Amino acid sequence: MTTQIVLASTAFGLATLTAADDSGAFAHYERRILVVVCNTAMPEATTPMHDIAGVPDLMRQFDAVYDYNACIEPQHPSIWRPRPGDLPLWERQFRLLWDLGADDLHLVVESIHVDPAQALCRIFGDARIDVYADGLMSYGPTRTAVPEMVACRIERLLHLDLVPRFTPLLLSERDVPTTVISSESFRAVVKTMVADRAAFTGNDRGALIVGQYLSAGGFLNEGEEFDLYAAMASGCADAGYTSVAFKPHPSAPTGQLARLSDVARARGVRLAVADERELVEAWFERGGVELVVGCFSTALLTASRLYGLPVARLGTELMLERLTPFQNSNRIPVTLADALVPDLSSLTPREKQLCRFEDADVQALAVSVGYAMQPLRLAVRRPEAVTFLAHHYESNSRYFKRRRLTRLGLPGSLPAPQPPPKPTLWHRLQRHVHRARIGLGRRCWALS
């Protein structure tokens, strides 16, 4: 018997997997179980996934649901890594806990290069593996080397078509085939996750600001993150919106929301805090949202690509400067948001703009940035990076660091240091006179 084990850490990822299954992306299986994991720094203080609207209905489609955190407590799922010698013991333990018996296993996981996905793949050493993309990070290169015992079993990368004509770079060094998940299936799943509430009151229409983990992730401090959201609210007011909804990240400080309300009130904008227990795509599905604003959230691309909504971004220039090291896995999402999504400050009142998906240079840009991030894993993409930088570096210099380009020998490198000028006859004569004076002084000192 074949049992499919699905590992999910977010409601968005669970909706993506359900859409893949509904569209027939998976082969036949007799049993299907869901393993829920919480990777946040404080899982006990994070809203459980089953509290998000529509998630319980999605969970009921599985034969069983298990909590990965409970299975390995008190270890943290992002840190715990079983020792090689203990893998057979852990496989026996999980087969017993999850009633797997001697079944053949098919793992469907996200973020294969880190734990807990990699830990689970190592524990079940004979299982087939499919990887699914939970957002824009899959368009970037593989962050760290995947162990051969895991990489050789990866069969596919499943992803939503968020950037058309651009194949994700994740696992491309292994030539892993990619499968696009139907956008219609994803929207059909999200439609079942819409809470029974109104996005905006009456016939009102407004803008939705999508919060992110900017300070919690160490990219900005809390003051800078607040200033960014305040600038977004002000930008919505400048664009003619009087109603704005703010969907904070679950880790956002509560005091930040009160201060943001004061800023919006001063600009004559009615600010509502969106319920975090609902998928942001559910707001798009329900209607009433005329503009989606964020920094580099995946929601910007789902709103534009899957729902045809106008979008705007703010703060990507700062993020391009702040991301360290250069190979930070958020660099490709920031690059795509900056290159595709119009800037909020450039919008005129009530202007509606969509992403620039028709720009072919965006794909070449992302490949070039990805190569600069991981030149060893993407060595075959070097000619593409050289060609792009040779023709377009000047207009895209903000996406690269010149020291990085210099280290890799790419166009846009820092100029080579000039050799020191050769000494003239006059300088050589001065040098000889100086040495003669030093020698004479030493002899005089010795005689004295």
CATH of the domain at 321: 3.40.50
SS (H, E, C) 227-269: HHHHHHHHHHHHCCCCEEEEECCCCCCHHHHHHHHHHHHHCCC
Q: Which of 209, 324, 327 is nearest to 274 (CA)?
A: 209
Whole-number Å distance between alpha carbons of 417 and 419: 6
Whole-number Å distance between alpha carbons of 162 and 424: 64
157 has which bridge partners? Answer: 131, 178
Other Cβ atoms less than 10 A from the Cβ of 411: the count is 16
Residue 333 lies in a domain: yes
Can you give the pLDDT at residue 258? 75
Kindly state whether residues 157 and 246 are assigned to the same domain: no
CA atoms within 13 A on the CB side of 159: 26
Kindly state whether residues 182 and 282 are assigned to the same domain: no
Residue 417 lies in a domain: no
Kindly state whether residues 100 and 245 are assigned to the same domain: no
- Contact between 111 and 147 under an 8 Å Cβ cutoff? The reply is no
Locate tokens 């090291």: which residue?
A: 325
Can you give the pLDDT at residue 303? 95
Can you give the pLDDT at residue 260? 86
Whole-number Å distance between alpha carbons of 293 and 314: 8
DSSP 201: S
Q: Which pair of structure tokens corresponds to residue 73?
A: 């407590």
- Contact between 15 and 34 under an 8 Å Cβ cutoff? The reply is no
Can you give the pLDDT at residue 185? 97
Pairing of strands 289-294, 311-313: parallel
Can you give the pLDDT at residue 329? 93
Q: What is the pLDDT along the chain (448 residues), one digit of tens a residue?
A: 999 999 999 999 999 999 999 999 998 899 999 999 998 888 888 889 999 999 999 999 999 999 999 999 999 999 999 999 999 999 999 999 999 999 999 999 999 999 999 999 999 999 999 999 988 999 999 999 999 999 999 999 999 999 988 999 999 999 999 999 999 999 999 999 998 765 565 556 689 999 998 887 888 888 899 999 999 999 999 888 889 999 987 656 566 677 888 889 999 889 888 766 899 999 999 888 999 999 999 999 999 999 999 999 999 999 999 999 999 999 999 999 999 999 998 887 766 677 776 666 899 999 999 999 999 999 999 999 999 999 999 999 999 999 999 999 999 998 876 676 777 777 777 877 778 777 777 777 666 6
Whole-number Å distance between alpha carbons of 134 and 110: 7
The residues, ordered by sequence, that sit 6+ positions from 216 with a Cβ below 8 Å of its Cβ are: 41, 249, 251, 252
Can you give the pLDDT at residue 126? 95
Residue 419 lies in a domain: no
Torsions phi, psi for 259 (to 5 deg): -65, -35
Angle at which helix 11-22 crosses helix 183-191, to 10 degrees, equals: 120
Task: Give residue 53's domain range.
Answer: 2-191
Can you give the pLDDT at residue 361? 84
Residue 415 lies in a domain: no
CA 301 centroid distance within chain:
12
Residue 238 lies in a domain: yes
Kindly state whether residues 274 and 229 are assigned to the same domain: yes
Domain count within the chain: 3
Helix then strand then coil, % of the chain, to nearest 5: 45, 15, 40
Kindly state whether residues 116 and 153 are assigned to the same domain: yes
* Residue 409, Ramachandran bin (φ over 0: left; ψ between -120 and 50: alpha; else beta): left
CA atoms within 13 A on the CB side of 424: 2
Indicate the pTM of the whole model: 0.89
Render 69-129 in DSSP notation, one character per residue: HHHHTTS-TTT----GGGHHHHHHHHHHHTT-TT-EEEEEES-TTSTTHHHHHHHSTT-EE
Kindly state whether residues 173 and 253 are assigned to the same domain: no
Kindly state whether residues 170 and 258 are assigned to the same domain: no
Kindly state whether residues 181 and 323 are assigned to the same domain: no
Whole-number Å distance between alpha carbons of 403 and 299: 32
Kindly state whether residues 284 and 149 are assigned to the same domain: no
Whole-number Å distance between alpha carbons of 330 and 179: 22
Let me know if 252 is exposed, middle or buried by CB neighbors in 10 A (0-12, 13-18, 19+): buried
Residue 35 lies in a domain: yes
Kindly state whether residues 345 and 382 are assigned to the same domain: no
Kindly state whether residues 373 and 393 are assigned to the same domain: yes
Kindly state whether residues 9 and 69 are assigned to the same domain: yes
Residue 118 corresponds to which amino acid? Q
Q: Which of 63, 48, 54, 41 is nearest to 9 (CA)?
A: 48
Other Cβ atoms less than 10 A from the Cβ of 423: the count is 11
